[in-house]
């Protein structure tokens, strides 16, 4: 059977499973819709959180990033897992105790202000839409490559599936689908990694395989460590050594700030936090943070191994090959334009960091454009440069060398020559990762609009049925908007992800931590802190990404701070402003103080019970 | 909890980033140590940290719960 047929089977099976689960867990009240009736067991919530968290970016792009970045790729690994420690220790149990439905809900009540609530809602919506656009695009890319469908068709199918199970089951439907999606995506990630690890090093544990010696049949000699071999190949071709620290623009300060921004941003992301509202009690909230990170670490510990293997195969299977030796996987990916070979005329592939590099990618180009560039390069080669355009010059002008990072995970099983069904299963895994994250984000958008804006501010008297209807309608509208973003991706999706983390780090994290641990911080300092944090971070990212501002060095760093890392400084500013103003402004009122006491009190006594019951009506 | 946060900073930010170049001089198996911390070690430490936090806090909650129960019994159950 062909890869395409296998992919159809796996995609069909997994999609029907998701729909079946959605049908089984449809809900009738807002409590079920927003927080799954607060009845999710800790380990199931951990799995759902893990699936929610691990997006198309974690599944598809991350190993690719590490593969090209080497040591510096560790910032994503550390940043995206380290945040869970902050989340588990500082936020999750307390927020669960507050008994609220959403993050803006807690922030609004704690700081006794609808303005603060609205700021939080806007942040939550912005962060979520930024994210969801990328997920829908991820679905489209998988469909395009493995099912030979148009990218847009893939986006629409993805939209329909998410729409059905999110509106039907709300948080409850989403949670149980995410549990299923976790299993699909983690097995899809582990099977090829294990298979490749055995192939390269003979060790069935990829994490150990990365630090093991290559098999004699692979390396041609005995006892060579994979990483040593990789370093040697990399340096030979002019790349920087794979395990070397702080190369290029990634100096120590940048690695530090970017990792910190990602960690703090992770802890402040609303779609992750909201998952801890779904469990039965505080104890379960703590345990589910543990399970979540454990399940996430399965993928995050495997990704660097996959990255190392992929780097080895990528160079080994391309560099120095002649026209006839070009592997099959390369030709099928070439059609997508995500990896291209523009020969200089000698018929041998050269993949290097220097001017003689012949491997490029054209991301975002239409199939017609890709064919045109290839044809024109072929003319150039055939006429010895008299006619046509040298594709290499064209690519070098655009500044894109090497294969696209997003294909690494999807292409490595093919590079390693694994069985067709494994390759197809990886495609289903990528879809599961993208869909699970998209649905979690859509629910955040829906709850922010329907609960925080509509039910709390616009129409506080709305009855249960009406609230539920508004919730479902918002999800419907959000799915359509997300789909439009997926079909017409704003060119800046990649950069705005940095924006999402920066914003979450600079806005939510300080406000939530101080909201729980300080009794002195009132409305004005919190609002001012958020505005300063967002304003500074937003200004820096927009100015340096779009307006070409030179990154600031603050007079102490060798290289300017990357836009991804600026959230760390935004967060510090937020803390400084909030704490500074707190000395002057009035402390919070009685209701807020009681709320603080009740979230810190681990027992089920105190006013929190009343709040929960009052909100169930 | 501050101790746990200190471990978090030490493993993630310290070993993974700040001292990574020094640690990279040491090789354990096929891994340079700084590289290992950045890509594997820190994550393992994070998982263990949350596990410890869960165990410690849940035990504390239990004690706190017993204390409240005791007080309840002593004062004749009118809390």
Dihedral sign, Cα of residue B44, residue B46, residue B47, residue B53: positive
Q: How far apart are CA A214 and CA A459, in angstroms?
A: 66
Contact (CB<8Å) B65/A263: no
So what's the pLDDT on residue B78? Answer: 47
Name, of A116-120, A166-170, B60-64, the range with top average pLDDT.
A116-120
Which residues, other chains included, contact A367 with Cβ-Cβ below 8 Å and sequence gap of 6+?
A: A335, A337
Residues of chain B above pLDDT 90, percent: 0
Contact (CB<8Å) B46/A73: no
Phi/psi class of residue A445: alpha, beta or left (left: φ > 0; alpha: ψ in -120 to 50)?
A: alpha
Pick from A225, A252, A602: CB nearest B30: A225
Phi/psi class of residue A350: alpha, beta or left (left: φ > 0; alpha: ψ in -120 to 50)?
A: beta
So what's the pLDDT on residue A219? Answer: 62
**Among the listed ranges A375-379, B19-23, B66-70, which one has the minimum average pLDDT value?**
B19-23
Q: Is B13 on the interface with A (CB under 8 A)?
A: yes
- With CA atoms as reference, report the closest residue to A92 among A316, A339, A326, A266: A266
Torsion of CA A27, A28, A29, A30, to 10 degrees: 50
Dihedral sign, Cα of residue A163, residue A168, residue A172, residue A178: negative
For residue range A249-284, list pLDDT tens digits in order.
666 677 777 788 888 888 888 778 877 777 777 777
Q: Is the pLDDT of residue A68 over 80?
A: no
For residue range A80-133, list pLDDT tens digits in order.
888 888 888 888 778 777 777 777 888 888 887 788 888 888 888 877 877 777
| pLDDT higher at A616 or A417 | A417
| pLDDT higher at B16 or A196 | A196
Given a contact cutoff of 8 angstroms between Cβ atoms, the answer to whether A403 and A359 are in contact is yes
Pick from B17, B46, B61: CB nearest A293: B46
Pick from A73, A85, A256: CB nearest B49: A85
Contact (CB<8Å) A227/B30: yes
- With CA atoms as reference, report the closest residue to A76 among A92, A89, A59: A59
For residue range A313-353, list pLDDT tens digits in order.
877 777 777 777 777 777 777 776 777 777 777 777 777 76
So what's the pLDDT on residue B79? Answer: 43
Shortest Cα distance, chain A CAs vs residue B9, angstroms = 9
- With CA atoms as reference, report the closest residue to A483 among A229, A44, A163, A222: A163
Phi/psi class of residue A403: alpha, beta or left (left: φ > 0; alpha: ψ in -120 to 50)?
A: beta
Contact (CB<8Å) A290/B46: no
Residue A124: what are its φ and ψ, rounded to 5°? Answer: -60, -45
Which of A74, A201, A255, A282 to probe by mutation at the B interface, max B CB count within 10 Å? A74
Q: Is the pLDDT of residue B20 over 60?
A: no
The chain-wide mean pLDDT, for chain A, equals 76
Q: How far apart are CA A608 and CA A308, in angstroms?
A: 50
Shortest Cα distance, chain B CAs vs residue A71, angstroms = 6
Q: List the Cα angle A221/A226/A229 in 5-degree steps.
A: 65
Contact (CB<8Å) B4/A85: yes
Q: How far apart are CA A573 and CA B17, in angstroms?
A: 23
Q: What residues are paired with A225 via a beta bridge? A: A213
Torsion of CA A510, A511, A512, A517, to 10 degrees: 80
- With CA atoms as reference, report the closest residue to A107 among A600, A608, A448: A448
- Take residue A200 and report the two structure tokens written for it: 């390269």
Residue A341: what are its φ and ψ, rounded to 5°? Answer: -120, 120
SS3 content of chain A, % helix, strand, coil (to 5): 75, 0, 25
Given a contact cutoff of 8 angstroms between Cβ atoms, the answer to whether A455 and A38 are in contact is no
So what's the pLDDT on residue A272? Answer: 80
Q: How far apart are CA A262 and CA A77, in angstroms?
A: 10
Pick from B31, B40, B54: CB nearest A286: B54
Shortest Cα distance, chain B CAs vs residue A264, angstroms = 12
The chain-wide mean pLDDT, for chain B, equals 67
Pairing of strands B27-28, A359-360: unpaired
So what's the pLDDT on residue A289? Answer: 84
- Take residue A296 and report the two structure tokens written for it: 């996430």
Contact (CB<8Å) B54/A287: yes
Q: How far apart are CA B56 and CA A417, in angstroms?
A: 48
Which of B14, B19, B35, B36 to probe by mutation at the A interface, max A CB count within 10 Å? B35
Residues of B (30-69) whose Cβ lies below 8 Å from A: 30-32, 34-36, 38-40, 42-44, 46-47, 49-51, 53-54, 57-58, 60-61, 64-65, 68
Given a contact cutoff of 8 angstroms between Cβ atoms, the answer to whether A174 and A21 are in contact is no
For A248, which DSSP code? Answer: T
* Chain A residues closer than 8 Å to B16 by CB: 74, 78, 259
Given a contact cutoff of 8 angstroms between Cβ atoms, the answer to whether A3 and A420 are in contact is yes
- With CA atoms as reference, report the closest residue to A423 among A42, A76, A43, A1: A1
Give the 3-state secondary structure of residue A42: helix
Contact (CB<8Å) A301/B54: no
Q: Is the pLDDT of residue A617 over 60?
A: no
If pLDDT is split at 50, 70 and 90, which confidence band does B18 have?
Answer: low
Shortest Cα distance, chain A CAs vs residue B31, angstroms = 5
H or E element that contains A524: helix A523-545
Which residues, other chains included, contact B35 with Cβ-Cβ below 8 Å and sequence gap of 6+?
A: A71, A74, A227, A243, A245, B20, B24
Interface predicted TM-score (ipTM) of this complex, two decimals: 0.75
For residue range A530-580, list pLDDT tens digits in order.
888 888 888 887 777 666 666 666 656 666 677 777 778 888 888 888 888
Pick from B30, B42, B79: CB nearest A211: B30
For residue range A413-453, list pLDDT tens digits in order.
877 777 888 888 888 888 888 888 888 888 888 877 877 77
So what's the pLDDT on residue A162? Answer: 81
So what's the pLDDT on residue B15? Answer: 57
Residues of chain A above pLDDT 90, percent: 0
CB A34: neighbour CB atoms within 10 A? Answer: 29
Q: Is B19 on the interface with A (CB under 8 A)?
A: no
Pick from A82, A88, A243: CB nearest B32: A243
Report the chain B residue with the minimal C-alpha distance to residue A80: B43
Contact (CB<8Å) A255/B32: no
Q: How far apart are CA A595 and CA A296, in angstroms?
A: 32
Question: What is the widest separation between alpha-carbon atoms in chain A?
Answer: 84
Q: How far apart are CA A361 and CA A340, in angstroms?
A: 5
- With CA atoms as reference, report the closest residue to A190 among A5, A8, A422, A3: A422
For residue range A387-398, list pLDDT tens digits in order.
777 777 777 666
So what's the pLDDT on residue A40? Answer: 76
| Contacts across the A-B interface (CB distance below 8 Å) | 135
Give the 3-state secondary structure of residue A415: helix
Contact (CB<8Å) B47/A243: no
Residue A190: what are its φ and ψ, rounded to 5°? Answer: -75, -40
Alpha helices in A202-281 (DSSP H): 206-209, 216-219, 226-236, 252-268, 270-273
3-state per-residue secondary structure call for A269-305:
CHHHHHHHHCECCHHHHHHHHHHHHHHHHHHHHHHHH
Shortest Cα distance, chain A CAs vs residue B40, angstroms = 6
| E strand residue ranges, A518-593 | none
Residues of chain A above pLDDT 70, percent: 82
For residue range A450-488, list pLDDT tens digits in order.
777 777 777 777 777 777 788 788 888 888 888 887 777
H or E element that contains B32: strand B31-32
* Chain A residues closer than 8 Å to B32 by CB: 227, 243
So what's the pLDDT on residue A615? Answer: 39
Contact (CB<8Å) B17/A73: no
| E strand residue ranges, A350-422 | 359-360
Residue A614: what are its φ and ψ, rounded to 5°? Answer: -60, -35
So what's the pLDDT on residue B30? Answer: 58
Shortest Cα distance, chain B CAs vs residue A409, angstroms = 17
Pick from A73, A89, A300: CB nearest B4: A89
Q: How far apart are CA A139 and CA A56, in angstroms?
A: 8
Contact (CB<8Å) B65/A244: no
Which of B1, B9, B25, B47 to probe by mutation at the A interface, max A CB count within 10 Å? B47
| pLDDT higher at A426 or A38 | A426
Contact (CB<8Å) A256/B17: yes
**Among the listed ranges A34-43, A79-88, A216-225, which one has the minimum average pLDDT value?**
A216-225
| Residues counted in chain A | 617
Q: Is the pLDDT of residue A606 over 70?
A: no
For residue range A182-209, list pLDDT tens digits in order.
888 888 888 888 888 888 777 777 777 6
So what's the pLDDT on residue A614? Answer: 37
Q: Is the pLDDT of residue A291 over 70?
A: yes
**Up-side HSE of residue B57: CA atoms within 13 Å toward CB?**
26
């Amino acid at each position: 059977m062909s890869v395409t047929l296998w992919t159809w089977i796996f995609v069909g099976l997994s999609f029907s499973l998701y729909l079946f689960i959605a049908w089984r867990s449809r809900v009738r009240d807002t409590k079920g819709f927003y927080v799954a009736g607060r009845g999710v067991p800790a380990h199931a919530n951990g799995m759902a959180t893990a699936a929610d968290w691990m997006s198309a970016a974690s599944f598809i792009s991350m190993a690719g990033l590490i593969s090209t970045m080497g040591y510096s790729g560790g910032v994503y690994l550390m940043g995206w897992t380290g945040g869970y420690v902050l989340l588990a220790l500082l936020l999750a149990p307390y927020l669960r105790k507050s008994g609220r439905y959403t993050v803006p809900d807690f922030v609004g009540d704690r700081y006794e202000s609808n303005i603060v609530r609205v700021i939080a809602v806007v942040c939550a919506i912005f962060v979520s839409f930024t994210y969801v656009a990328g997920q829908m695009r991820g679905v489209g890319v998988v469909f395009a490559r493995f099912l030979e469908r148009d990218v847009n068709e893939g986006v629409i199918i993805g939209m329909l599936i998410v729409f059905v199970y999110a509106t039907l089951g709300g948080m409850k439907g989403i949670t149980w689908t995410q549990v299923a999606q976790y299993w699909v995506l983690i097995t899809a990630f582990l099977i090829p990694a294990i298979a490749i690890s055995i192939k390269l090093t003979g060790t069935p544990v990829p994490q150990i395989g990365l630090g093991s010696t290559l098999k004699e049949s692979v390396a041609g000699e005995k006892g060579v460590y994979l990483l040593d071999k990789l370093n040697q190949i990399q340096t030979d071709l002019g790349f920087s050594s794979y395990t070397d620290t702080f190369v290029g623009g990634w100096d120590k300060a940048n690695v530090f700030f970017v990792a910190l921004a990602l960690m703090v941003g992770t802890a402040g992301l609303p779609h992750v936090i909201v998952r801890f509202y779904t469990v039965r009690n505080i104890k379960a909230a703590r345990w589910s943070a543990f399970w979540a990170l454990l399940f996430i670490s399965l993928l995050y510990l495997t990704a660097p191994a996959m990255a190392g293997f992929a780097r080895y195969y990528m160079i080994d299977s391309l560099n120095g090959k002649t026209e006839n030796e070009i592997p099959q996987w390369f030709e099928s990916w070439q059609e997508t334009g995500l990896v291209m070979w523009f020969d200089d005329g000698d018929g041998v592939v050269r993949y290097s960091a220097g001017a003689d590099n012949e491997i490029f990618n054209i991301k975002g180009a239409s199939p017609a454009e890709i064919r045109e560039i290839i044809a024109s390069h072929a003319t150039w080669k055939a006429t010895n440069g008299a006619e046509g355009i040298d594709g290499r010059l064209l690519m070098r002008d655009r500044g894109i060398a090497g294969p696209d990072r997003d294909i690494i995970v999807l292409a490595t099983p093919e590079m390693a020559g694994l069985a067709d069904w494994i390759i197809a299963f990886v495609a289903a895994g990528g879809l599961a990762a993208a869909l699970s994250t998209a649905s979690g984000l859509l629910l955040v958008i829906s709850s922010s609009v329907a609960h925080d804006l509509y039910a709390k501010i616009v129409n506080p008297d709305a009855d249960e049925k009406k609230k539920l209807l508004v919730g479902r309608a918002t999800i419907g509208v959000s799915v359509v908007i997300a789909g439009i973003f997926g079909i017409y991706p704003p060119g800046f999706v990649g950069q705005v992800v940095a924006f999402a983390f920066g914003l979450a780090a600079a806005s939510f994290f300080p406000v939530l931590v101080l909201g729980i641990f300080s009794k002195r911080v009132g409305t004005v300092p919190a609002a001012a802190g958020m505005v300063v944090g967002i304003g500074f971070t937003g200004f820096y990212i927009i100015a340096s990404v779009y307006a070409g501002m030179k990154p600031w060095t603050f007079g102490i760093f060798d290289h300017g701070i990357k836009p991804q890392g600026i959230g760390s400084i935004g967060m510090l500013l937020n803390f400084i402003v909030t704490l500074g103003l707190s000395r002057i402004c009035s402390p919070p009122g009685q209701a807020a103080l009681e709320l603080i006491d009740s979230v810190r009190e681990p027992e089920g006594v105190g006013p929190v019970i009343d709040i929960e019951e009052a909100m169930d009506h | 909890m501050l101790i746990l946060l200190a471990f978090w900073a030490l493993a993630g930010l310290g070993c993974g980033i700040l001292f990574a170049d020094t640690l990279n001089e040491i090789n354990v198996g096929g891994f340079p140590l700084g590289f290992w911390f950045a890509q594997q070690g820190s994550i393992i430490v994070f998982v263990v940290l949350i596990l410890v936090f869960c165990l410690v806090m849940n035990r504390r909650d239990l004690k706190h719960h017993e204390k409240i129960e005791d007080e309840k019994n002593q004062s004749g159950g009118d809390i």
